[in-house]
Amino acid sequence: MFSADGVAASFLYNGAYVELNPSEMPETAPGVFEKQTPDGLTAILSFEKIEEDAFTQLLRFENRGEKNSGVISAIRSFDRRLPAPGGTTYESLFGDDCGAFSFAPRKGTLFEGDCLGVEPKFGRPSDTWAFPFFDIEAGDGAFTFGIGWSGQWVLELAAEAGTLRVAAGLSETKTFLYPGESIRTASMFWVKAADIPAARRKFRRLMLDRFAPRDPKTGGYAVLPIAETNFDRYFRKRADWDTAAGQKRCADVAAACHMDTLWLDAAWFREGFPGGVGNNDFAPGFPNGTGEVSAYAHKKGLRYVQWFEPERANAYSDTVRYHRDDVIILEGHNSVNCLVNIGDEQVRRRVTDEIKTHIREDGIDIYRQDFNICPSGYWRTADAPGRRGMTEIRFVEGHYAMWDEIRAEFPEVLIDNCASGGRRLDFETCRRAVPLWRSDTGCSDETDDRRASVWSQNQILGLTRYLPYHSSGCWRSEAYFVRSAAAGGVAMNLDVFADDFDPAAVIPIVEETRRLRAYWAGDFYPLTAPTNAEDVFAAWQLSLGDRGAVYAFRRKDCPQSVFTAALSAIDPNKTYRVAVTDEHMNVTEKILPGRALVSLTLTLDEKRSSLVAEYGPADDGRTFH
């Protein structure tokens, strides 16, 4: 798709439309093109070819003049036209709404004269209304895109004269730059393939291979945790839980269940969650800090997760009391939330140093960062006259700089990207961190009104189109619920302090989750469409080389007991060994020719039950258990 000919980005300068066409711009470095206005404002457009038909693109601005620049607005850091005779298909997802429609699919067709505008809600890039990953099928192929802006992005699609204009950038920027000042804007990663499913698989593979965090010890893919975490179940309900002794007991249980991680959420700091957000000292239950908890977990062979929320502070917290100038407050607003302005370099330096101290002294293996605030109103309040959007730009730049510094100093530490669940998922955050808590639908158990298992299945069917990594919380140890939630990892919110809790009963599903974890690095094939209907099956396939796994769920009102899975990436000329593990962890194995495996018949005798079918070549000598 990339060519030196044609418009690639655009913006308004003092109200006049400016096109950025690489063929008309000097190439100042390989893949870097510049265009300068007479007064010295320089637009810097850079490209990287990842592989054939796969590119990244980034637009920056720098004022090289001696005076303030003119007004920059309508920044579209990606602005291209695709051939689209006869109409265009647009597919994406909604964002996370902590409910039945989190990451639900959205689809439409644009014909001549049609326009579509998409943007998220209140400043977090995957909040409620929109999702910054999308597909276009037009002309001679299909494209999958990922917008990289962890703020208020905008996407504009316009069908005109046999083409589709795809323009993405910053939603509300209207600013000038001081002499010597520079800013970055949104990035874009995109791939082209024959059709949308193929483009998604290519996009997801490259996200995993080229961009997503990796394990520096092995050089391989990052391993998501299978964790014991009980914040939502126990916080402020059991006084013996949010203590060092209570967390050591949780570590004992995690190890006994064969989990690999202890996860301490927002209970370690004074006054707890949410009132204590912005306090950096330890709660009374941790008189010696949390380092002794992590040390104990490490002795048990566990990794250790600890929660932080450095960008938000309670109005009565120490951060606001002692660093009042570091926060943005909505004057006259009843909210007790204040936004810590990490767009200010000194503020970011202080916050980053505090986090790094905790990582070192608390023995943190996975740094969990949450973001429970809608930032756009704070950003706009803090903008200086004539500088609309600059607070957001500096904040997003500061966010990236903070994570980049943490990753550089602690390459072995994995960052968990949380924002009231999955409301800050975009290309730039997903290349730095993984979402271990894809939605706050994991904050409570299944009820008649909150269909947590169905919602999790749908989230997997939606998110895994684009993202190689994500996981969620699970409140029950039955296979149906764990398989619904787990996607490379899972956060187990089990009642581990109950007198009748039996770790041995949990081991089989935990071991299965550990074994299946590797398949999530392969290709993903949805076998059913996401739906909240309870009278259907839900299913998907993971394919890794010549091996794979099929997940199938018979929902609670589904009248049928037989599901036929139309599998992909199967060699009809090979013979496969297939191991089927049912809801009760009973395993049956059979040998099937590839031509039979292509159309695999699965039987689930019980309603609200699940099974996993693992397959691999019959002659390679490997077993599944």
Residues 363 and 460 grouped into a single domain: yes
Q: Is position 329 within any domain?
A: no
Final residue before a domain boundary, out of 485, 519, 553? 519
Q: Is pLDDT at 529 greater than 60 in this prediction? A: yes
Cβ partners under 8 Å of residue 353, min gap 6: none
Residue where a domain stops, chosen among 484, 519, 554: 519
- How many whole angstroms separate alpha carbon 449 and alpha carbon 225? 29
- Pair 420, 492 in one domain: yes
Report helix angle 390-409 to 345-362, nearest 10: 30
Structure tokens at 222: 């990052």
Does one domain contain both 58 and 149? yes
Q: List the CATH number of the domain containing 471.
A: 3.20.20.70
pLDDT at 333 over 70: no
Tokens found for residue 424: 């800050």
Q: For residue 1, is pLDDT > 60? A: no
Stretch (H or E) spanning 318:
helix 318-322
Determine how β-strand 609-617 pairs with β-strand 16-20: unpaired
| Confidence bin at 219 (pLDDT 50/70/90) | confident
486 inside domain: yes
The first and second tokens of residue 137, run together, are 């099928």
Examine the domain organization and report whether 289 and 274 are in the same domain: yes
User: Within a domain: residue 24?
Assistant: yes
End-to-end Cα spacing for the chain: 45
293 within 8 A of 251, measured Cβ to Cβ: yes
pLDDT given for residue 345 in this prediction = 98
Place of tokens 């490997």: 622
The answer to whether residues 74 and 108 belong to one domain is: yes
Has residue 31 been placed in a domain? yes
- Do residue 66 and residue 183 come from a single domain? yes
Q: Which residues contact 384 (CB under 8 A, 6 or more apart)?
A: 390
Query: Taking the CB of residue 383, how many other CB atoms lie within 10 A of it?
Result: 18
119 and 22 belong to one structural domain: yes
- 148, 180, 211 - which closes a domain: 211
Residues 111 and 250 in one domain: no
CATH number at residue 153: 2.70.98.60
For 442-464, write each residue's pLDDT tens digit. 999 999 999 999 999 999 999 99
Give pLDDT, residue 285.
96
Average pLDDT of the residues in 268-279? 96
| Residues 230, 194 share a domain | no
Q: Quote the domain boundaries for residue 36.
A: 9-211
> Quick one: 356 and 503 in the same domain?
yes
In one-letter notation, the amino acid at residue 457 is Q
Query: What pLDDT score does 206 carry?
Result: 98
User: Of 238-247, 295-304, 331-340, 501-510, which gets the smallest average pLDDT?
Assistant: 331-340
In-domain check, residue 418? yes
Alpha carbons 519 and 489: distance in angstroms, whole number: 11
Instruction: Count Cβ atoms within 10 A of the Cβ of residue 195 and give its class: 0-12 exposed, 13-18 middle, 19 or more buried.
Output: exposed
532, 512: one domain: no
In a domain, 463, yes or no: yes
pTM: predicted TM-score of the whole model, two decimal places: 0.96
pLDDT band at residue 5 using 50, 70 and 90 as cut-offs:
low
Q: Is the pLDDT of residue 625 over 70?
A: no
* Banded pLDDT at 4 (limits 50, 70, 90): low
Residues 112 and 255 occupy one common structural domain:
no
With respect to residue 576, please indicate whether it lies within any of the assigned structural domains.
Answer: yes
d(C-alpha 121, C-alpha 77), whole Å: 20
| Number of domains into which the chain is organized | 3
CATH number at residue 553: 2.60.40
Cα(605)–Cα(39) distance, rounded to whole angstroms? 74
Q: State the DSSP code for 485.
A: H
Residues 189 and 211 sit within 8 Å (Cβ to Cβ): yes
In a domain, 163, yes or no: yes
Query: Residue 506: what are its φ and ψ, rounded to 5°?
Result: -90, -25
H or E element, residue 376: helix 376-382
Q: What is the pLDDT of residues 229-242, one digit of tens each?
A: 999 999 999 989 99
Which tokens hold the place of 259? 């989990």
